[in-house]
Structure 1
Amino acid sequence: MIPFGGITCCLSAAALYLLGRSSGRDADALKSVTRVNQLKDLAQLLEAASKVLPLVVTVSGRVGSDTPIICEYSGLRGVIVEQTAEQHFLKHNDAGSWIQDSALMLSMCKEVPWFLDDGTGRVHVVGARSASGLVLTVGSEMFEESGRSLVRGTLDYLQGLKMLGVKRIERVLPTGTPLTVVGEAVKDDIGSIRIQRPHKGPFYVSDKTIDQLIVNLGKWSRLYKYASMGFTVFGVYLLAKHALQYIMERRRHWEMRKRVLAAAAKKAEQDEEGLNGKTENGSNSTGRDRVMPDLCVICLEQEYNTVFIQCGHMCCCMTCSSHLTNCPLCRRKIDQAVRTFRH
């Protein structure tokens, strides 16, 4: 049998190791980005680095927009708004009980052009929704109970459903939120500076400082590597255990084979001693020419004539099989012993 447990542990260890390396590379990349203390200095940095573009920087400021979105339920002003609606209901399962479940009914997101402002300048941020570390604030969360009619409720009940209601959640990136953005700084044709996803390098939008991001990534990198080591040790243990069991099984098989061959040779010698010498060209020569004699591996006297279900091995006589619960070859449990007959 294939050791799926050991293989799965080793594959998990490899995946965790790759995650740890990725987090470690991101932490090193964040250490090497150019830190901009004031947004007004970013234009000078772009001019100085015009020959070595792209320029990956980290900037900080408060979220702002000339056309903010006013949230429908919370009334907050934001630049990114996500709305979801989930239908919650009870479902009748095969066991005869009711279990709670939900289904997504609505998911939409709105975003308007926005920027970071630190009082000295502005920097527009593009593609923030695809950046790492972006967490939206829950602006409102409400539950609307189901108001279905009696007929509709009866039809749902006949289908094994009981509607509870709709849960609506509104998440928003409010204006005035302090953020740290790491990305590529570019200047467009009209002189505006924006931060966007670099072709190669980190892209973060987070409420944590750059130093906090580096520390967190370092912690995750070490955690992934330690978990990878643990899964590796456990996986190697499972593989070694399976290999040892296989070796012991093969060794037991060969020892049993040698035992049967030795018993067959001894029986042949006894039969030969009892004969008067005329059997040299007789029918007994066929028995001596067998590579593997058909003897029961338990009593070594009777020929084996019983097949074990489920493994399918045939190595014992009917008398010895009646006293066994596991196959002597593969150690699998014997569900049934079927006698065979030779023609």
Structure 2
Amino acid sequence: MLPWGGLSCCLSAAALYLLGRSSGRDAELLKSVTRVNQLKELAQLLEAEHLLPLVVAISGRVSSDTPINCEFSGLRGVIVEETAEQHFLKHNDAGSWIQDSALMLSMSKEVPWYLDDGTGRAFVVGARSATNFILPVVSEVFEESGRSLMRGTLDYLQGLKMLGVKRIERVLPTGTSLTVVGEAAKDDIGTIRIQRPHKGPFYVSPKTIDQLISNLGKWARWYKYASMGLSIFGLYLVTKHIILYLMERRRRWELQKRVLAAAAKRSSQENEGENEKASNGTDGTKRDRTMPDLCVICLERDYNAVFVPCGHMCCCVACCSHLTNCPLCRRRIELVVKTFRH
């Protein structure tokens, strides 16, 4: 049997190592991007064609010419996600009621928006696919179920008890301070955009560029240490499995050697006619056994017991009563099952 625990640890360590390398590589890329202190400087940088494509890090406040008015929170935002979840109690086979939920509605809206720092503006395109971009939850409203008596009775007969509807609103409000790392581009009418680069980092986060670099460095170190720990533990499990396997093979070989020696001694004490009679069945067929079925403990009786849970069969029932561990694999014996031959 393969040491799946050790192999899983080694594979997990490899995955963490790759994540650590990725985080470290992203941290180095963020250090190499061009930092723009004011948005008016970005237009001057883009005029130099030899710098294109230009990956920059800029900061500013979220603004829009056509913001969205949020229904529940009353905020004005540029990206709005609304979800509605139906919460209910469901009757299971055990006769009890368990709480569950189901998604009823999911809606997303986004309007063109830009970063503004008072000196200029830069539109942000495709922010929801950026790394570290999370829409904060600004409103959670739970509306209790107001169903009629007839509808409630029908739901109860179907094994349901409606509790209500939970509405969640996630919004990127106007005025939020953001840091955007991406490729800067300028169209024919002079509009500046920040978008996902063909090759390079794309971040939209409320943290500063230095905080992003520090955070990525911490994750890279954590992944590295976790990868080392899992590698050591996985190698320990694999090595332990190999040692136990070799010890079991050695014990098996020694027991087989004892059984063969006892069988040879017993056969030498019997005459040739009795050996012939024992080796032939009633139908005249010859039993060919390279390994005698002798108990490895007493070496006198045939083995007729199976150990649970290891499944080895190497002892007789009389000797099993004195054992707590299997003679072959050394696993603890939980149950002994007597076997019969027809």
Relative to structure 1, the CA distance from residue 307 to residue 213 in structure 2 (aligned partners, 3 Å threshold; closer, same or farther) is: closer
Q: Which residue in the other structure is 2:206 paired with?
A: 207
For 2:217, the equivalent position in structure 1 comes to 218
2:127 corresponding residue in structure 1: 128
- The 2-side partners of 1:212 and 1:301 are apart by 77
Structure 2 residue aligned with 1:61 = 60
Deviations 1:267-315 (A, max 9, x none): 34444xxx6xxx59x849979x964233222221234455667766553
| Displacement after TM superposition at 1:322 (Å) | 6.3
The letter of the residue matching 2:24 is G
1:117-154 alpha-carbon deviations (Å, 9 max, x no partner): 11111111100111112232333221100011112212
Q: Matched residues in 2 for 1:242 and 1:159: separation?
A: 52
TM-score normalised per structure 2: 0.88
Q: Which amino acid aligns with 1:110?
A: K
- The 3-state SS of whatever aligns with 2:2 is coil
| Residue aligned with 2:73, SS | coil
Structure 2 residue 91 is the aligned partner of structure 1 residue 81: no
Give the conservation status (yes or no) of the 8 Å contact 1:114–1:125.
Answer: yes
SS of the residue aligned with 1:133?
Answer: coil
Matched to 2:34, the amino acid is T
Distance 1:148 1:291, change over 3 A: same
Aligned-partner Cα distance in 2 for 1:340–1:32: 78
1:213: Cα distance to partner?
A: 0.7
**Alpha-carbon deviation of 1:324?**
5.7
C-alpha distance in 2, partners of 1:57/1:310?
63
Rounded Cα–Cα distance in structure 2 between residues aligned with 1:170 and 1:312? 58
- Residue 215 of structure 2 aligns to a residue whose secondary structure is helix
- 1:208-267 deviation per Cα after TM superposition (whole angstroms, max 9, x unaligned): 110011111111111122122222222222222222221111111101001111222333
Call closer, same or farther: CA 1:223–1:153 in 2, change over 3 Å: same
Which position in structure 2 is the counterpart of 1:36?
Answer: 36
Partner of 2:180: 181
Q: Does 15-24 or 318-327 show the bigger shift?
A: 318-327
Correspondence for 2:6 = 6
Deviation at 1:45, TM superposition (A): 1.0
Give the residue type in structure 2 aligned to 1:230: G
Residue 174 of structure 1, CA deviation: 1.0
Distance 1:111 1:262, change over 3 A: same
CA distance in structure 1 between the partners assigned to 2:15 and 2:25 by the alignment: 15
Q: Take 2:60 and 2:245, find their aligned partners in 1: how far apart are those partners? A: 64
Structure 1: runs of 5+ lacking an equivalent: none
Specify the code of the residue in structure 1 equivalent to 2:9. C
Helix, strand or coil at the partner of 1:198: coil
Ranges in structure 2 where 5+ consecutive residues have no aligned partner: 281-287
Contact between 1:327 and 1:334, CA under 8 Å: does it hold in 2?
Answer: no
Query: Given the superposition, is the C-alpha separation of residues 324 and 67 from structure 1 closer, same or farther in structure 2, using an over 3 Å criterion?
Result: same
Matching residue's letter, 2:247: M
Q: Kindly state the Cα deviation for residue 335 of structure 1 after the two structures are TM-superposed.
A: 5.0
| CA shift for structure 1 position 336 | 2.1
Structure 1 residue matching 2:197: 3-state secondary structure: coil
Give the root-mean-square deviation of aligned CA atoms.
2.7
Does 146-155 or 206-215 show the bigger shift? 146-155
Which residue is equivalent to 1:191?
190
The 3 A distance-change label for structure 1 pair 137 and 311 is closer
Q: Deviations over 1:8-27 (max 9, x none)?
A: 22222122211111111111
Equivalenced residues, count: 333
Q: Distance in 2 between matches of 1:79 and 1:302?
A: 85
Please state whether the residue corresponding to 1:51 is helix, strand or coil: helix
Name the CA distance, whole Å, in 1 between partners of 2:146 and 2:337: 60
Which position in structure 1 is the counterpart of 2:250? 251
CA spacing shift, 1:2–1:158, aligned 2, 3 Å: farther
Percent of aligned pairs with the same amino acid = 76
Aligned-residue offset at 1:323: 5.8
Counterparts of 1:222-237 in structure 2 under 5 Å?
222-237=221-236
Distance 1:312 1:65, change over 3 A: closer
Counterpart contact for 1:90–1:100, Cα < 8 Å = yes
1:337 matched to which residue of 2? 338
**1:38 positional shift:** 0.9
- Answer whether contact 1:39 1:120 (CA < 8 A) is retained: yes
> In structure 2, do the counterparts of structure 1 residues 328 and 35 end up closer, same or farther at CA, with 3 Å as the change threshold?
same
**1:78 corresponds to which letter in structure 2?**
G
Give how far 1:93 is off. 2.7
Residue identity matched to 1:93: N
